[in-house]
Every structure is written in structure tokens, then in C-alpha cells.
């Protein structure tokens, strides 16, 4: 199948994913927005008033980019893991596997779905944030590029999880026991300068720290991490995760007998 | 030209079960081929390997000359597959199920839309195009899977038990449709448990048992290998107590019915002659067993007998 046909196949997979997101918008868009609204009310408005300033901004302003990034991470991951695993579990993943599509087309199609859902939820959470605080975007290009790259990393992560998952429990384990703790400890709610030196050093091994701070730099112009370092780390994860997905799909691991 | 060629194809699963033991199989272009075998014989594994859903252990597969190892995309483009299990996206509507499949094969949107309409109309699903797949009946789901497999106009269509659980009326309409697309040039490989289906539709047959091809020939040649048929005769009057049919063995089923064995060296004229001589009037007659089913059971029984003998041998030596 030539390149043009591969692109038609890519468009088909991506379109199918976006249609799915829109078809079940009550499950894909609304719940994360409600959760984030509660974060703004409880942590930002009620508790945040007592905290005062952080990183030179009032706490609500400081926290908002973290919450936007958190919603992008969880939703891009959740979209691909649930969609790909459901396709595998119901068997209709075979529709794609029997077709002459390249593995990278299947990956990119699903990643497009993850990016669309991550950015859609991120956009709605941004609108919600505007009801609570004033948001300025210092470097729009950096902010949007970090968001998209992060959505790609976690979409690919969701796909790896779905490839290995054999039952629905396996789909919930990584978000609950890995993704959640890393996100909460990734500088969403605080600056690492508040941490003791030991824990600040430990945090340097958390990739989400680079994503949250990269995005915060794009929004507010402040970051615990050097922005170039953040880009290098995120891009490295993109390459690593994409390579892993490509290897797994090409070898048929987890999807072929 | 071979539509499908399997050479020394072997599959051993991770649990050490060998599903296919170096099988060779050729299916000619334009053929309507039946692949038969009991549950667990290796049919679905063979189809899984051909459709690249199962990784082979060794051997080679080529589809219209395209080797799966070296020219996978070209081989896949020639194939359409209807799996045994319903594997539709249950939340998609009928139209999108087929349209998306066309897109996966790289058909441009406009052409994909036209093909979708054609196959849905052919399979009488066009009026249900907005229905969600999960709301369809079992027969409609089967037809939708056939429509999905045909949307990119494959040269080789593989159907793995396509009529399982489908009522006789729909089954017969599906047979007519499959005959029609075969006459139009599509090569078809069919696995089925309904041996009558294979006997009616297919020109060649391969029988697979315990991972080995035990029979591979023209359907007519395979059926000729049967030397005996059993007919059930309904008699007008009660079966006489001292009935004797010259050269034919029979059993009394009930007071109005008998089963008569006709061996390969006798014919029905001789049977009716014997019945006339005995003064018996026959009101109706039917073939007791499907002939292919009979042959199939014999082959499997022979295998079971050989196995039993092999297991028993060491004990005899003791």
C-alpha cells in the first residue's frame, strides 16, 4: 500500500477515534472538567487563600497550569488505553491488523485521538480556570508545544499499557499506582524549591515534573526546570515510547498469538 | 495460479500445543474450497496465520504469489476475512463499520462510500445502515461481517464458519450470495461445521485433523470414496415380519420404516427390484446421513482407532 493510501488509513483511524470521543462526550469531556473545577474550588479558592503566594504568583494562578497539564496527561493516556484495549478486548482491533496498514499508522491514528481529547479537556479546564483567576500566556508557542508533546508521550504510554493489558484491571493499575502519584508529585501544586534537598533531587527523576514546569514556563514565565532540559527530556520520552509501541505492534506482542 | 499456498506450515503455541504439523495446501484461483475438521483440528489457526493474526512457528504462506514474510502488505490487500467470532465494533453503526474498513485498506473517502453502499445493498443491510451493530440480530451481524470483508474487493475471501447460529433461510440466502461472488471471480475458502454447506457450495475440500491434512481432493472425488449409503424407506403398510431383501441388509426403525444399506457394488434399481419381489410398497425415501459427514466421521474414527492402538501397544508387550 503506497504512502497516499497509508495516509487515508491514518485519517480513518484518527477520525474513528475523534468520533468516539464526541459520541461519548459525557464520559470523555465532562467528568475531568468537573474534577478540575472541584480542585479549583477546594485547593485554589478555599485552601489557596490561606497559602498566599507561590513562585511570585497567587496560589490559584500558580496552580492553574499544573491542573491544565494534569488533565491533559490523564485524558490523553486514558483515551488511548481505553479505546485500544476495548478494540483488543472486543476483537475489532483485528479490522486494523488484517488490513495492509503500517504499524506506525495504527499508532499515529490512536495518538491523534489522545491528543485531541487531551487538548479538548485542557481547553475546557482553561476556560474553567478563567472563572477563578486571571491567566496570562507568556510564551504561547512553548505552552502549546509542551502540551502537545506531553499528550503524545502519554497517548503512547496508554497504548503500551493497552497492548500488555489482558483484563480491565490491567488498564486501571498504571493510572492508579503510577500515573496518579507521579502527577501529584510532579509539581502540579507546589514548587520543588519548597522541598528538602533530598526530595527535590528525587523529584528530578519524575518526568512529569519537566512537563508541568515546561508548561508553567510557557504560561507564567517561571519554572523549577530549565526549559531546554524540559524539551530534551520530553522529546526523549516521545522517541522512547514511540519506538516501544512500534516494536510491540510490529512483533505482534500482546495482540497476536 | 495459486490463490493460497501453504508450505510446511507449523504452529506450536507457547503452551507447547502443536496446532499445525507441517501442512501443505494449495487453493487455486477461482476455487470454492472447503476446509473441514473437528473442533481444535487447526482450521482457525491456519486461517489466523494466513490473515496474520497468528504468528507461525515455521513454514511459508503466500497469497496470489505474495509471500507473507517478504510482501505482507500486498498479500493482505488481496484478502478479506470473516472471522468465526463476531468482532464488530458494537458501538459503531452499520455504515461506519464498513466505511472504516474501506479506509483501513486505503480506499479514498468517496470510493469507500460508494463501495459501502454497494456491499450493504447486496447483503440487504442498506436500510439498517444507521443501526448500531450491537442492535442487529445474529444473522445480520454475520452479513455485516461479510459486507465488511468485501468492501475492498478482495481476490480471496476467507470465511470461518460464517453461518454458525444462522437460521436456514438466511443461511440459504448467504449461500446464493457466496456462489454469486465466486462466479464473479472471487476465490473463497470456507470452514464450516455444516457439512451439507460444504457439499453444496465447494468444488474442492481439505480435511484437517489434529493439525494434519488428512484429505485434499475434489469434492466429487472425496464423495466417491464412500462405498456405502443408508436410505430410510417409509412403507405404505406395516413392515412384514419375515421381510427378506435379496442382498441388502436392513434394520427396522419402526412399524412403517426400515433403514437399508446400499453398498458401492449395488444400485437403487436392484433395491427397488428386491422390494417389489418382497411385495413391499414404498411411499417415500430419504438419505439417512450426509455423505460428507459420513466420510468425515470415518476419517476421524480411523485416527482415533490408530491412537488407541498406539496407546494400547506398550501394555500388550507387558
Average pLDDT over residues A70-88: 95
**Three-state DSSP class for B193?**
coil
The mean of the pLDDT values for chain B is: 87
Q: Using an 8 Å CB-CB cutoff, list chain A residues near B82.
A: none
Q: How confident is the model at residue B230 (pLDDT cuts 50, 70, 90)?
A: confident
Name the range with the highest mean pLDDT among A21-30, A70-79, B271-280. Answer: A70-79
Q: Does B91 touch chain A (CB under 8 A)?
A: yes
Predicted local distance difference test score (pLDDT) of residue A87: 95
Nearest CA distance, A91 vs chain B (angstrom): 5
Concatenated DSSP letters of chain A = --HHHHHHHHHHHHHHHHHHHHHTHHHHTHHHHHHHHHHIIIIIIIIHHHH-EETTEEHHHHHHHHHHHHHHHHHHHHHHHHHHHHHHHHSTTHHHHHTT--HHHHHHHHHHHHHHHHHHHHHHHHHHHHTTS----S-HHHHHHHHHHHHHHHHHHHHHHHHH--SHHHHHHHIIIIIHHHHHTTTSSS-GGGS-HHHHHHHTT-HHHHHHHHHHHHHHS--SS-HHHHHHHHHHHHHHHHHHHHHHHHHTTTT--
Q: Using an 8 Å CB-CB cutoff, list chain A residues near B159.
A: none
pLDDT value at B311 more than 90: no
Q: How far apart are CA B233 and CA A181, in angstroms?
A: 78
pLDDT value at B308 more than 80: no
The reply to whether ipTM tops 0.85 is yes
Predicted local distance difference test score (pLDDT) of residue B316: 42
Q: How confident is the model at residue B312 (pLDDT cuts 50, 70, 90)?
A: low
Residue A90 is nearest to which of B52, B87, B106, comparing CB atoms? B87
pLDDT value at B291 more than 70: no
Residue with cell 419375515: B242
CA angle B87/B36/B204 to nearest 5° reads: 115
Q: How far apart are CA B185 and CA B150, in angstroms?
A: 13
Q: How confident is the model at residue B318 (pLDDT cuts 50, 70, 90)?
A: very low
| Strand duo B187-191 + B32-36: pairing | parallel
Mutate which: A104, A112, A257, vs B, most B CBs within 10 A: A257
Residue with cell 494466513: B50
Of B98 and B283, the one with more pLDDT: B98
Q: Is B318 exposed, middle or buried (0-12, 13-18, 19+ CB in 10 A)?
A: exposed
Q: Is B23 exposed, middle or buried (0-12, 13-18, 19+ CB in 10 A)?
A: buried
pLDDT value at B223 more than 90: no
Which uninterrupted H or E stretch holds B45? helix B43-50
What's the grid cell of residue A157?
504510554
* Pairwise CB contact (< 8 Å): A100 & B100: no
Spatial CA neighbour of B135 closest among B83, B91, B85: B91
Q: Is A58 exposed, middle or buried (0-12, 13-18, 19+ CB in 10 A)?
A: middle
Q: How confident is the model at residue A91 (pLDDT cuts 50, 70, 90)?
A: very high
* Pairwise CB contact (< 8 Å): B103 & A9: yes
SS (H, E, C) A82-117: HHHHHHHHHCCCHHHHHCCCCHHHHHHHHHHHHHHH
Provide CB contacts within 8 A for A52, sequence distance 6+. A58, A59
State chain A's maximal CA–CA distance in angstroms: 62
Nearest CA distance, B69 vs chain A (angstrom): 12
Q: What is the pLDDT of residues A95-134, one digit of tens each?
A: 999 999 999 999 999 999 999 999 999 999 999 999 888 8
Q: Over pLDDT 90: what percentage of chain B?
A: 49
Predicted local distance difference test score (pLDDT) of residue A20: 94
Predicted local distance difference test score (pLDDT) of residue B125: 93
pLDDT value at B35 more than 70: yes
Q: Are A77 and A155 in contact (CB under 8 A)?
A: yes
Distances (CA, A) of A72 to A22, A114, A119, A147: 17, 9, 6, 7
Residue B108 is nearest to which of A8, A90, A252, comparing CB atoms? A8
Nearest CA distance, A145 vs chain B (angstrom): 29
Q: Does B51 touch chain A (CB under 8 A)?
A: yes
**CA quadruple A76, A80, A83, A86: dihedral sign:** negative
pLDDT value at B215 more than 70: yes
pLDDT value at B45 more than 90: yes
Q: Does B101 touch chain A (CB under 8 A)?
A: yes
Q: Using an 8 Å CB-CB cutoff, list chain A residues near B66.
A: none
The mean of the pLDDT values for chain A is: 92
**CA quadruple A125, A180, A80, A238: dihedral sign:** positive
Q: What is the pLDDT of residues A3-58, one digit of tens each?
A: 999 999 999 999 999 999 999 988 888 998 899 889 888 887 788 778 878 878 88
Q: Using an 8 Å CB-CB cutoff, list chain A residues near B151.
A: none
Q: What is the pLDDT of residues B50-95, one digit of tens each?
A: 999 999 999 999 999 999 999 999 999 999 999 988 999 999 999 9
Chain A: residue nearest B12 by CA? Answer: A257
Instruction: Return the number of other C-beta atoms located less than 10 Å from residue B81's C-beta.
Output: 25
Q: Using an 8 Å CB-CB cutoff, list chain B residues near A23.
A: 91
Question: What letter would DSSP give residue B126?
Answer: G
| Strand duo B2-12 + B18-28: pairing | antiparallel
Nearest CA distance, B71 vs chain A (angstrom): 10
Residue A95 is nearest to which of B79, B101, B109, comparing CB atoms? B101
Residue with cell 444399506: B261
Q: What is the pLDDT of residues B161-209, one digit of tens each?
A: 888 777 788 888 888 999 999 999 999 999 987 777 888 899 999 988 8
Q: How confident is the model at residue B305 (pLDDT cuts 50, 70, 90)?
A: low
Provide CB contacts within 8 A for B114, sequence distance 6+. none
**Domains in chain B with CATH codes:** 2-223 (3.40.50.300), 226-287 (3.30.70.1560)
Residue B87 is nearest to which of A13, A91, A257, comparing CB atoms? A91
What's the grid cell of residue B236?
405404505
SS (H, E, C) B235-304: ECCCCCCCCCCCCCCEEEEECCEEEEEEECCCCHHHHHHHHHHCCCCEEEEEECCCHHHHHHHHHHHHHH
Q: How far apart are CA B53 and CA B48, in angstroms?
A: 5
Q: How confident is the model at residue A191 (pLDDT cuts 50, 70, 90)?
A: confident
Q: How confident is the model at residue B237 (pLDDT cuts 50, 70, 90)?
A: confident
Question: What letter would DSSP give residue B166?
Answer: -
Q: Are B283 and B234 in contact (CB under 8 A)?
A: yes
CA angle B118/B124/B128 to nearest 5° reads: 95
Q: Are B125 and B96 in contact (CB under 8 A)?
A: no
Predicted local distance difference test score (pLDDT) of residue B159: 94
Predicted local distance difference test score (pLDDT) of residue B310: 58
Predicted local distance difference test score (pLDDT) of residue B290: 60
Of A158 and B263, the one with more pLDDT: A158
Mutate which: A6, A7, A8, A109, vs B, most B CBs within 10 A: A8
| Strand duo B58-63 + B2-12: pairing | antiparallel
Those residues of chain A whose CB sits closer than 8 Å to some CB in chain B are 1-2, 4-6, 8-9, 11-13, 15-16, 19-20, 23, 87, 90-92, 94-102, 252, 256-257
State chain B's maximal CA–CA distance in angstroms: 76
Average pLDDT over residues A71-83: 95
Provide CB contacts within 8 A for B124, sequence distance 6+. B143, B173
Residue B76 is nearest to which of A2, A99, A257, comparing CB atoms? A99
Concatenated DSSP letters of B66-98 = EETTT-HHHHHHTEEEE-SS----TTSBHHHHH
What's the grid cell of residue A249?
505492534
Phi-psi region of B124 (alpha: psi -120 to 50; beta: other; left: phi over 0): left
Chain A: residue nearest B72 by CA? Answer: A100
Q: Where are the beta strands (DSSP E) in B121-227?
A: 156-160, 187-191, 204-209, 212-218
Amino acid at each position: 500500500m503506497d504512502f497516499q493510501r497509508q495516509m487515508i488509513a491514518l485519517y480513518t483511524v484518527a477520525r474513528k477515534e475523534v468520533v468516539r470521543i464526541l459520541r461519548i462526550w459525557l464520559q470523555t469531556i465532562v467528568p475531568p472538567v468537573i474534577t478540575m473545577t472541584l480542585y479549583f474550588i477546594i485547593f485554589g479558592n478555599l485552601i489557596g487563600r490561606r497559602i498566599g503566594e507561590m513562585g511570585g504568583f497567587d496560589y490559584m494562578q500558580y496552580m492553574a497550569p499544573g491542573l491544565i497539564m494534569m488533565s491533559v496527561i490523564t485524558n490523553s493516556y486514558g483515551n488511548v488505553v481505553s479505546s485500544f484495549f476495548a478494540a483488543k478486548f472486543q476483537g475489532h482491533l483485528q479490522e486494523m491488523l488484517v488490513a495492509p496498514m503500517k504499524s506506525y499508522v495504527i499508532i499515529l491514528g490512536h495518538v491523534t485521538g489522545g491528543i485531541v481529547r487531551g487538548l479538548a479537556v485542557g481547553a475546557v479546564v482553561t476556560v474553567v480556570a478563567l472563572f477563578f483567576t486571571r491567566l496570562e500566556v507568556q510564551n504561547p508557542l512553548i505552552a502549546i508545544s509542551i502540551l502537545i508533546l506531553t499528550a503524545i508521550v502519554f497517548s503512547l504510554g496508554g497504548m503500551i499499557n493497552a497492548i500488555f493489558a489482558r483484563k480491565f484491571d490491567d488498564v486501571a493499575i498504571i493510572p492508579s499506582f503510577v500515573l496518579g502519584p507521579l502527577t501529584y508529585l510532579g509539581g502540579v501544586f507546589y514548587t520543588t524549591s519548597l522541598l528538602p534537598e533530598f526530595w527535590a533531587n528525587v523529584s528530578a527523576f519524575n518526568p512529569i515534573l519537566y512537563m508541568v514546569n515546561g508548561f508553567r514556563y510557557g504560561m507564567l514565565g517561571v519554572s523549577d526546570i530549565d526549559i531546554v532540559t524540559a524539551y530534551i527530556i520530553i522529546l526523549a520520552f516521545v522517541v522512547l515510547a514511540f519506538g516501544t509501541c512500534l516494536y510491540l505492534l510490529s512483533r505482534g506482542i500482546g495482540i497476536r498469538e | 495460479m495459486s490463490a493460497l499456498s501453504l508450505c510446511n506450515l507449523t504452529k506450536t503455541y507457547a503452551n507447547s500445543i502443536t496446532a499445525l504439523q507441517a501442512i501443505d495446501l494449495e487453493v487455486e484461483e477461482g476455487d470454492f474450497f472447503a476446509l473441514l475438521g473437528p473442533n481444535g483440528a487447526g482450521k482457525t489457526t491456519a486461517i489466523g496465520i494466513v490473515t496474520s493474526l497468528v504468528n507461525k512457528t515455521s513454514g511459508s504462506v503466500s497469497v496470489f504469489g505474495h509471500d507473507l514474510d517478504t510482501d505482507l502488505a500486498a498479500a493482505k490487500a488481496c484478502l478479506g476475512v470473516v472471522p468465526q467470532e463476531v468482532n464488530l465494533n458494537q458501538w459503531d453503526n452499520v455504515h461506519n463499520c464498513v466505511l472504516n474498513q474501506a479506509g483501513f485498506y486505503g480506499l479514498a473517502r468517496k470510493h469507500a462510500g460508494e463501495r459501502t453502499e454497494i456491499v450493504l445493498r447486496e447483503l440487504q443491510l442498506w436500510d439498517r445502515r444507521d443501526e448500531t451493530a450491537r442492535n442487529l440480530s445474529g444473522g445480520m451481524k454475520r452479513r455485516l461481517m461479510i459486507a465488511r470483508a468485501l468492501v475492498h474487493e478482495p481476490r480471496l475471501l476467507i470465511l470461518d464458519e460464517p453461518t454458525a447460529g444462522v437460521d436456514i433461510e438466511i443461511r440459504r440466502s448467504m449461500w446464493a450470495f457466496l456462489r454469486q461472488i465466486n462466479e464473479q471471480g472471487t476465490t473463497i475458502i470456507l470452514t464450516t461445521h455444516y457439512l451439507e454447506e460444504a457439499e453444496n457450495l465447494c468444488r474442492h475440500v481439505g480435511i484437517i485433523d489434529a493439525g494434519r491434512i488428512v484429505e485434499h481432493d475434489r469434492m466429487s472425488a472425496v464423495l466417491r470414496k464412500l462405498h456405502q449409503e443408508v436410505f430410510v424407506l417409509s412403507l405404505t403398510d406395516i413392515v412384514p415380519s419375515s421381510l427378506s431383501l435379496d442382498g441388502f441388509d436392513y434394520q427396522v426403525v419402526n412399524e412403517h420404516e426400515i433403514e437399508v444399506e446400499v453398498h458401492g457394488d449395488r444400485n437403487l434399481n436392484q433395491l427397488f427390484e428386491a422390494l417389489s419381489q418382497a411385495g413391499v410398497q414404498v411411499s417415500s425415501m430419504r438419505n439417512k446421513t450426509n455423505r460428507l459427514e459420513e466420510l468425515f466421521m470415518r476419517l476421524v474414527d480411523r485416527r482415533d482407532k490408530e491412537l488407541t492402538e498406539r496407546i494400547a501397544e506398550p501394555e500388550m508387550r507387558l
